[in-house]
A and B are shown apart, each in its own frame.
Chain A
Amino acid sequence: MLEYKINIEKKNWIYRMKTKILIISFCLFTASAFSQEFISDFTWNFGFTADKLSEYIPNNSYKGFGIEGRRFFDKNISGGLSFGWNIFDQRIAEPIIIDEEGFSGTISGTQIRYVNAFPILANAHYYLGKRKDFRFFLGGGVGVYYILQRLDLGVWSLESNNWHFGLAPEAGFLIPFGDGESNIIVTGKYNHAFSSGKTIGGNEDNSYSYWSLNFGFAFSSRF
Chain B
Amino acid sequence: MKKLLKWLFQASILSILILSLNSCYNDYGLTTQDYDLVSTFFKKGVDFKKFQSFTLLDTVMRVTNDGEDPDDVDTRFDKQILDDVKRNIKNYGYTEIKQEDVDSTNLPDVVLLVSSVSSTNYAYSPGYWWGYWGWYPGWGYYPGYGPGWGGYYPWYPGGTVYSYSTGSIFIEMVDPTDIDVDNRRVNLQWGAGINGLTDDSSQNLSRRIKEAIDQSFKQSPYLNIN
Contact = CB atoms under 8 A, between A and B. Distances in A.
Interface stretch (A29-37, A153-161, A166-174): A153-161
Given A89-B26, A107-B39, A65 B21 contact: yes
Given A42-B14, A114-B24, A155-B197, A108 B34 contact: no
A217 B6 CA distance: 11
B220 A154 contact: no
Interface stretch (B41-49, B92-100, B110-118, B122-130): B41-49
Q: Which of B14, B21, B28, B36 has the most CB of A within 10 A?
A: B21
A47 to B, nearest CB: 12
Nearest to B14: A42
Interface string A76-100: 0000000001010101000100101
B41 A98 contact: yes
B10 A104 contact: no
B55 interface: no
Contact of B21 (A85, A95, A114): A85
B40 A106 contact: yes
B135 interface: no
A110 B43 CA distance: 25
B25 A95 contact: no
B38 interface: yes
Nearest to A62: B20
Contacts of B14: 42, 65, 67
A110 B25 contact: no
Contacts of B18: 65
Contacts of B27: 112
B168 to A, nearest CB: 10
A63 B21 CA distance: 5
A187 interface: no
B185 to A, nearest CB: 13
B2 to A, nearest CB: 9
A58 to B, nearest CB: 16
Nearest to A157: B25
Contacts of A182: 6
Interface in B5-64: 6, 9-10, 13-14, 17-18, 20-22, 24-28, 30, 34-44
Contacts, number: 101
Contacts of A132: none
A42 B30 contact: no
Interface residues of B, number: 38
A110 B195 CA distance: 12
A65 B17 CA distance: 7
Give the secondary structure class of B's interface: mixed
Contacts of A150: 25
B154 A100 contact: yes
B165 interface: yes
Given A112-B28, A116-B24, A105 B39 contact: yes
Contacts of A216: 13
B44 A110 contact: no
A104 B197 CA distance: 26
Contact of A219 (B10, B34, B39, B41): B10
A98 B43 CA distance: 12
A64 B22 CA distance: 11
Interface in B143-185: 154-155, 165-166
A4 interface: no
Contacts of B36: 109-110, 154
Q: Which 10 A-B pairs have the closest CB atoms?
A: A154-B37, A105-B41, A109-B37, A65-B17, A110-B34, A107-B39, A106-B219, A102-B154, A91-B28, A116-B24
25 contacts: A42-B13, A42-B14, A42-B17, A44-B17, A65-B17, A65-B18, A85-B21, A91-B28, A100-B154, A102-B44, A102-B154, A103-B41, A104-B41, A105-B39, A107-B37, A107-B38, A108-B37, A108-B215, A109-B34, A148-B24, A152-B25, A154-B35, A155-B165, A156-B37, A221-B3
Given A104-B41, A154-B196, 5 more contacts: A103-B41, A105-B39, A110-B36, A112-B28, A155-B35
